[in-house]
Structure 1
Amino acid sequence: MLHSRFLRFCIGECFSNQRHVFHSAAFWLGLLYVTFPLGLIIYGWNDIADADIDSFNPRKGTFLFGARGSHEQLRRLPMQIALVQAVFASIFVYLDGARILLWLLGLVLFTAIYNLPRYGLKSHPPFDILNQAGYLLVFVLSSWLNHTPQLRWPAMLFGALFAMHSHVFGEIMDIDPDRASGRCTTATVIGVISSKMLVCALLLLEAGLVWKFFGDFWISGALLFGVLWFLFDALVLWRDRPYRLIQMRVFMLGWNAIALASIPWVWRTATLAR
């Protein structure tokens, strides 16, 4: 899923303070948490809420794009989610104190209001996009567990925009099954080409933020390349045609490779922590 790519970006940002955290149990436990247990509550809850819609989605049922659980698996999932969160909540409270419970409450609220039946933000544009700012909680958790200052507001805004453009791209890939199921998303409302233009606008804002407040040529340049790519996609390559499954797999594998390869560089340069 696209938001797992953002989580990997957040992991890289955990390193960006350049502190020697590799000997810290809190660091490794936090790293473990944001890879699987956090994904379990976010995406597991989403799988339960989207059980019917996912039956239309050819991307689902794969390790790369997310599960398509059986009725029995989905029935057991809430208890599994609760148990895993309880274990890590207990550990984090021991390490950092009761404020972790406020963090967990925020996580539950962001996830719940996104997935509520009928009234969930996932089916009420543009709140389906704005809700992605909840991923900033990963930054907060990182700073608390590693006892480092919170990121400045430009870095937080950049992180929120990053999550939002990733989500819109996911909606573009899911537009046909979403339409078939009757779901209302930003992409189904404004269409494929306009959604790609929205991704371009978000990437352009991100590039401007990084250049103005952090002066990083490489990150800004990479984001501007993304703008050009989506423009070319919208106007020449695919336009409003759906991506094939093999193409989506290539996109996701490439996205993962870039995200993982960039983590050491993000730590070394500490650009967004300045």
Structure 2
Amino acid sequence: MSSGPDSGLQERGPAVVRRPVPAISLRQLLTVSRPALWINTVGVLVTGLWLTGQLYTAAPAFWLLLLYLTLPYNLLIYGLNDLSDRAEDALSPRKGGWQGARLRTAEATPLLTWILALNLPFLLLLAWLLTPASLALLLLSAALFAGYSLPPLRFKARPLLDGLSNVAYALPLALPALLLGRPVSVWALLALCAYSVGKHAFDAAQDSGSDRAAGLNTTAVWLGVRGVALYSLCWFVLAGALLWPLSRLSSGVLLMVCGGMALRLWRKPDVDTAARLYPLSIVTPWIVGGVSGVQLVYLLVRGLY
């Protein structure tokens, strides 16, 4: 049969294939958020509450804040970092597992969508519930994390500023005090700031090779592994000294564990040693925080704090 103009049939052009935007599973989101590091946000907030002299609080804002500092906030911290570090992560042998995701280009937009979808509603609600001072501190912490990863600031690519911006990890320690109208534990806050700067430099030593290959100039790249071992040791000693007036036991544990691993890296300054020491670095917040937390809870229960 003819298929001419009068046949009622028309030729169709090539079909347009629409490729769906790839979805990101909950497992992938959790991998990006690094649950092993949630202690750095959740643990700091709980310790900050105990430092106010309370074991718990009925304030809804605190519990919402605690929930926010789990998946949503850590997805903001590490998701933006993974989006900006795709070139470096592609060269890093430790990425692609529990130490951080190795993102494909097609996953960038869905991940950014999830970061916004999980963070904006919490921030809007917290803006209504938090006091002005506590809200300002939370936003400052989030801004420092964003500035660490995103251009034009991208502190990660600026030696010294990369670690100094990591005081953002310490700032939530003061949130409960500002929320509940209690005095901020200045010594504890300063000690945690110093520890955060030193730990960032120490942890970055293992990535100095891949960062250098990708053209990224970090503190660890700038100082070299031996230099960063001494640099981080100085910050750990300062943190221990600042913690000394509050707890000699906590100060001693911090100096023994963190100072010890920095000295170990100084004695054998190479990327492989830094990588082997990284799991110990990961658990130092659990060790030092656990020692400090047990003391605080004991004193609070006994009515001595």
CA deviations over 1:220-256 (Å, ceiling 9, x no partner)? 1112213234223312xx33352386x3564256436
What CA distance in whole angstroms lies between the structure 2 residues aligned with 1:72 and 1:127? 31
CA RMSD of aligned residues (A): 2.9
Aligned length, in residue pairs:
265
- How much does 1:8 deviate? 4.7
Kept after mapping to 2: 8 A contact 1:130/1:164: yes
Q: Which amino acid aligns with 1:219?
A: S
In 2 relative to 1, CA 142–126 (structure 1 residues): closer, same or farther, beyond 3 Å? same
What CA distance in whole angstroms lies between the structure 2 residues aligned with 1:264 and 1:142? 15
In 2 relative to 1, CA 105–219 (structure 1 residues): closer, same or farther, beyond 3 Å? closer
Kept after mapping to 2: 8 A contact 1:122/1:128: yes
**Where does 1:1-274 land on structure 2 (aligned, <5 Å)?**
4-11=38-45, 12-21=47-56, 23-63=58-98, 65-96=99-130, 102-103=136-137, 105-117=139-151, 119-145=153-179, 147-211=180-244, 213-214=245-246, 216-225=247-256, 226-235=258-267, 238-243=268-273, 247=276, 250-251=279-280, 254-255=283-284, 257-258=286-287, 261-262=290-291, 264-268=293-297
CA deviations over 1:163-187 (Å, ceiling 9, x no partner)? 1111011111211111121110111
Determine which structure has the larger helix proportion and give its number: 1
Q: Which amino acid aligns with 2:284?
A: W
What CA distance in whole angstroms lies between the structure 2 residues aligned with 1:56 and 1:68? 10
What CA distance in whole angstroms lies between the structure 2 residues aligned with 1:52 and 1:6? 26
Question: SS at the partner of 1:191?
Answer: helix
Structure 1 unmatched runs, 5+: none
Q: Which amino acid aligns with 2:297?
A: R
- How much does 1:135 deviate? 2.5
What CA distance in whole angstroms lies between the structure 1 residues aligned with 2:248 and 2:288? 18
Name which one, 1 or 2, has greater alpha-carbon Rg. Answer: 2
What CA distance in whole angstroms lies between the structure 2 residues aligned with 1:16 and 1:70? 42
- How much does 1:270 deviate? 6.7
Question: TM-score normalised to the size of structure 1?
Answer: 0.83
What CA distance in whole angstroms lies between the structure 1 residues aligned with 2:67 and 2:107? 23
Q: Which amino acid aligns with 1:95?
A: L
- How much does 1:99 deviate? 5.8
Identity among equivalent pairs (%):
25
What CA distance in whole angstroms lies between the structure 2 residues aligned with 1:267 and 1:37? 28
What CA distance in whole angstroms lies between the structure 2 residues aligned with 1:194 and 1:270? 40
